[in-house]
Structure 1
Amino acid sequence: MPQGDKSKYTVKQERKADHIAKGYEKRGVKKKEAERRAWATVNKDDGGDKKPGGSGRGRSTGNPAAHKGGKLGGKASAARPAAARSASARKAAATRKRRG
């Protein structure tokens, strides 16, 4: 199988790669680089191809790449005024205290 051949990947893996690539493109990554990163992510998640005859068949997956999403968040919270964040923190603390 030549390098870059995707014939051993399942339809689900191809959909997954397309979805990941679109997310990268939305964030401004060039199309070719987004596709490269997407397939690298699929390989990291699934251990390679999944069709019969491929080396990745039958392995369990812990979906390691799926755990990175939280690193991207926090922008909405940071954009709020300090007083609003502080009020939310006080309210949360009161709730935790009340519930024990």
Structure 2
Amino acid sequence: MPRGSSPKRERQYEHIKESVKSRGESEKKAEEIAARTVNKERARAGESKTASKTSLEDMSSSKRGGRRSHSGAQGPTYDQLYEEAKRRNIHGRSNMNKAELKQKLGR
């Protein structure tokens, strides 16, 4: 957790971390997921100095989790796949749909 975060965010971090660990993920993966989720919520609430465009415009993590919990695991969103393709410098990504991005990324 970043220095200066509120007790609420500390509790949120611990809760998410324990929840992810209970699903069988490693300690390191649980910490990463919890930190990313809490940092996104901090950015959306205006509690951080900087925020990515995705953090501000994407659906909130709590809402997204609720939508996916009843329909099974659908994996990453199109935007998340696109950002990964961008990081990996995959050419033609802007013309690909979600399935094509998944295939190119090997998911």
Q: Which protein, 1 or 2, shows the higher relative CO under an 8 Å CA cutoff with sep ≥ 6?
A: 1
For 2:25, the equivalent position in structure 1 comes to 29
One-letter identity of the residue aligned with 1:40: R
Find the aligned partners of 1:46 and 1:73 in 2 and give their Cα distance. 26
Q: Does 1:55 align with 2:49?
A: yes
Could you list the runs of 4 or more consecutive aligned residues of structure 1 that deviate by over 2 angstroms after TM superposition? 72-75
One-letter identity of the residue aligned with 1:72: S
For 2:36, the equivalent position in structure 1 comes to 40
5 Å matches for 1:60-75?
64-67=60-63, 68-73=65-70
Q: Which has the larger radius of gyration?
A: 1
- Per the TM alignment, residue 74 of structure 1 is displaced from its structure 2 partner at its CA by 5.6
Gapped runs of 5+ residues in structure 2? 51-55, 73-107
Could you say what secondary structure the match of 2:5 adopts?
Answer: coil
Aligned length, in residue pairs: 64
TM-score (norm 1): 0.52
TM-score (norm 2): 0.49
Find the aligned partners of 2:24 and 2:12 in 1 and give their Cα distance. 19
Which digits, 9 at most, give the CA deviation of each residue in 1:60-80, with x for residues without a partner? Answer: x898011122312367xxxxx
TM-align CA RMSD: 2.9
Percent identical among aligned pairs is: 25
